[in-house]
Structure 1
Amino acid sequence: MSIEVKVPVLGESISEATIGEWLKQPGEAVAADEPIASLETDKVAVEVPAPSAGVMGQHIFSAGDTVQVGSILTTIEESGAAVARDAGEQQPAIAKSEAAPAPSAAKADPAPAASSPAPAPSGEPVSLSPAVRRLVLEHGLDPTGIKGTGKDGRLTKEDVLAAAETAKAAPAPAAAPAPAAKPATSSEAGRETERVRMTRIRQTIARRLKEAQDTAAMLTTFNDVDMTAVIEARAKYKDLFEKKHGIRLGFMGFFAKAACLALKDVPSVNAQIEGDEIVYHNYADISVAVSAPNGLVVPVIRNAETLSFAGIEKTIADFGKRAKDGTLKMDEMMGGTFTISNGGVFGSLMSTPIINPPQSAVLGLHRIDQRPVVMPDGSIAARPMMYLALSYDHRLIDGREAVTFLVRIKEAIEDPTRLLIDL
């Protein structure tokens, strides 16, 4: 009996996806709920699980094809039918082998060899999860040369990392001779190009960023903030915080709480334009930009204004981990009212972040540098300073409101007591 595998429901308003990779090939055994294909939507990569155990059928679509929700991707032939079919196919070969045994049969027992599958030759498709594929590409490894320790011999992240360490320790192999079919010429040396199709996620990022520039009247205002008080608070309480809550105390918790206070004082920053109306929100669903293998994603911290520091830090840490593993859900990245993007983790000194429509503003954080600052008493001291950038839709937010918002953020970070007494 064959069971159809269809494109699952991918989320509200998502009607199609692109096949990123087939994780199982026709004829391979699959277990129930084992991922057999990876789909790329506008926001995330989604793995399609097998509905039951059995044998993989033919691929109806190829990698890179666009498929609609509900389309049939392949079939799974249930185990009972598969076993009967395999037995029927193997019987003639067995009978022939018994009738005409090989001359070397007396010297070697063929049974053990038949029971152990041969290793996949180089170039044969290997089933890789999105996280494992990212590590393979990062380290420049050939997945067919790595022995998998996962289920059904699949590669795990630990297998790839171990192979990478082995490759680093091994001496460099002798250079292979150039292919005879097309020898390299001096004019071509060092000028190779590679053409790679954009992933669906990258296409969506490009389209939405351009739409934001074309639609919103974007403007960016800047300020700087002295991080001394936050750094001292973290140093003083980080061990107790981690011991009690099981998570590290980071900077994003302070900025998320500061943003919630500032959004209350300047509600237009937390609003959005719909047609000829302005929609104000009495809650703060803060989108936090995190890096994923296929590009930047922005999962949403729901009702951030009601969360504690520990709740915010745990949510952000969970988002970061699952973004790298490619397991974020579609509904976790929809409906934000305001965005915080931390380019400082990559060393950015200053930037003009782009709004994430239909939101009306985005706060950009940057790296912390020791800079000379004139203190209130006139002395000059080296202080850990960070530039803040607020990009906003000038159709909705006036310059006075944008500057006021950044000042509120600055005041809360430079005096974190304000976060406790709601000032």
Structure 2
Amino acid sequence: MTELRVPKLNNNDTEYLLVEWLAEDGAGVLKGDPVVVLETSKAAEELAAESDGVLRRTAETGATCRPGEVIAYVSDGSAPAPAVADPGAAAGAGGPFVTAPAQALIDEHGVDPARIRALGKKVIKRADVAALLDDGSTSQMQAQKRAQMQVQPLPAVQRAVAAAVTRSHRTIPAAFTAVKLDAGPATARARALSKEARALIGLPELLVSAVASLHGQFPMCFAEVVVADGPAGEPAVRPSPAPNVGVTVDVGTGLYVPVLRDAGRLSLKEIAERLAAYRTKASRAAFREDDLAGGNIVVTLHTDTAVLLAVPIVFPGQTCALSLCAPQHELALDAAGNVVKRTTVTLGLAFDHRLVNGREAAMFLNAVRKAITP
């Protein structure tokens, strides 16, 4: 008999929600078959059977699970099936079971419970509610009711953001510097590369590629601060073997930071395709933990037209966060002293001052500028 235990899915959560069983209790499963879906604060993750046999569930839909807990067994069929409440019972007689992230979205938008019941599902996830809201049919009365509410729970995604921001400000002595980039040549290059690669390449894609290309030249910008052994507990550094670049994605369903692993090996077309896929996942709230884990530097995008400067947080476990702001038009003098119109963007770098100093930060930013417009 093999135990199915809840793994540690991320560093921000101490418990997860069991949202759906993919195999019936007592059903035969094969090693590697997905059998259950757990929801963290940011993603849904499938767990697979670790051996062939018969699934014997010990936790019900809607249960809160902690890392290390046993939620099922895969047996040879001789063990009796445990008594597990029906998923519909967990919801009560009045309707389906609604996960916490889904309920937060329902409360935020004042969705009529009748519309939730009309979906005909036993378990309602955040993605189900998001799809329901796509038709834009929330009434004005419901909007007014939301405006009158004085206290609203934060969605799970925002709670995770709040935890990361709090920990960052508490533990990382961050500094910040910024440079200006003449975006004209970079934009022209992006247009030419888009035609060549038949993919939508813009400044974000160029920036990700440029950052990844500097991994070997600026290893401290991709490193991790750790506490050294010994009574003093002084900080030490753990270099990263590859540039795993996180990129912020926020399409209105919450802030996510999916990761492009070993981004230095990716072509611009591959970077563009992966970022497009991540934006689609964000719109559906369909990220998996594997999409969000493993980053060692972050590129934050602030492309709303009025954004002149953005100071990102340094994520716990990382050293640097690079911000890209919106293009701005300005008048400048060319080499001959003539007044010309140009478009610029601001690149900012927040950095852990324990590992990176201001001089290195400025050198890194200037190297990024050069890499974007070689």
Question: So what's the TM-score if we normalise by structure 2?
Answer: 0.70
Supply the AA of the counterpart residue of 2:371: A
2:114 is aligned, of 118, 137, 144, to 144
Give the deviation of 1:155 after TM superposition. Answer: 10
Q: Which structure has greater helix proportion? A: 1
In structure 2, the residue matched to 1:124 is 95
Q: Deviations over 1:89-136 (max 9, x none)?
A: xxxxxxxxxxxxxxxxxxxxxxxxxxxxxxxxx963366897x88986
Question: So what's the TM-score if we normalise by structure 1?
Answer: 0.63
1:351 alignment partner, SS class:
coil
Q: How does 1:21-420 map to 2 (within 5 A)?
A: 22=19, 39-41=39-41, 43-46=42-45, 65=64, 67-72=66-71, 124-125=95-96, 140-142=110-112, 144-145=114-115, 165=135, 167=137, 192-196=149-153, 199=156, 201-242=157-198, 247-274=199-226, 275=228, 276-291=235-250, 295-345=254-304, 348-413=307-372, 416=373, 418=374
2:201 alignment partner, SS class:
coil
Alpha-carbon spacing, 1:157–1:58, altered in 2? closer, same or farther (3 Å): same
In structure 1, the residue matched to 2:86 is none
Distance of 1:259 and 1:138 partners within structure 2: 37
Partners of 2:96 and 2:121 within 8 A in 1: no
Aligned CA-pair RMSD: 4.9
Q: Deviations over 1:66-108 (max 9, x none)?
A: 544434389xxxxxxxxxxxxxxxxxxxxxxxxxxxxxxxxxx
Q: Deviations over 1:356-405 (max 9, x none)?
A: 12211110111112122222221222211111110011111111111111
In structure 1, the residue matched to 2:16 is 18
In structure 1, the residue matched to 2:232 is none
Give the deviation of 1:224 after TM superposition. Answer: 0.8
Partners of 1:348 and 1:367 within 8 A in 2: yes
Partners of 1:340 and 1:362 within 8 A in 2: yes
Alpha-carbon spacing, 1:234–1:148, altered in 2? closer, same or farther (3 Å): farther
Supply the AA of the counterpart residue of 2:316: P
Give the deviation of 1:323 after TM superposition. Answer: 3.3
Alpha-carbon spacing, 1:290–1:260, altered in 2? closer, same or farther (3 Å): same
Partners of 2:175 and 2:352 within 8 A in 1: yes
Alpha-carbon spacing, 1:296–1:13, altered in 2? closer, same or farther (3 Å): closer
Supply the AA of the counterpart residue of 2:293: M
Partners of 2:131 and 2:284 within 8 A in 1: no
Task: Return 5+ residue gaps in structure 2 as ranges.
Answer: 22-26, 51-56, 74-92, 229-234
Distance of 2:61 and 2:132 partners within structure 1: 34
Q: Deviations over 1:240-281 (max 9, x none)?
A: 422xxxx32232221112213344333322223223433333
Equivalenced residues, count? 343
2:255 alignment partner, SS class:
strand
Supply the AA of the counterpart residue of 1:207: A
Distance of 2:60 and 2:119 partners within structure 1: 29
Distance of 1:359 and 1:317 partners within structure 2: 25
- In terms of Rg, which structure is larger? 1
In structure 2, the residue matched to 1:106 is none
1:314 alignment partner, SS class:
helix
1:357 alignment partner, SS class:
coil
Partners of 1:146 and 1:163 within 8 A in 2: no
Distance of 2:257 and 2:296 partners within structure 1: 12
Give the deviation of 1:209 after TM superposition. Answer: 2.1
Partners of 2:99 and 2:124 within 8 A in 1: yes
Give the deviation of 1:12 after TM superposition. Answer: 7.1
% identical equivalent positions: 20
In structure 2, the residue matched to 1:9 is 7
Distance of 1:163 and 1:206 partners within structure 2: 25
Alpha-carbon spacing, 1:224–1:205, altered in 2? closer, same or farther (3 Å): same
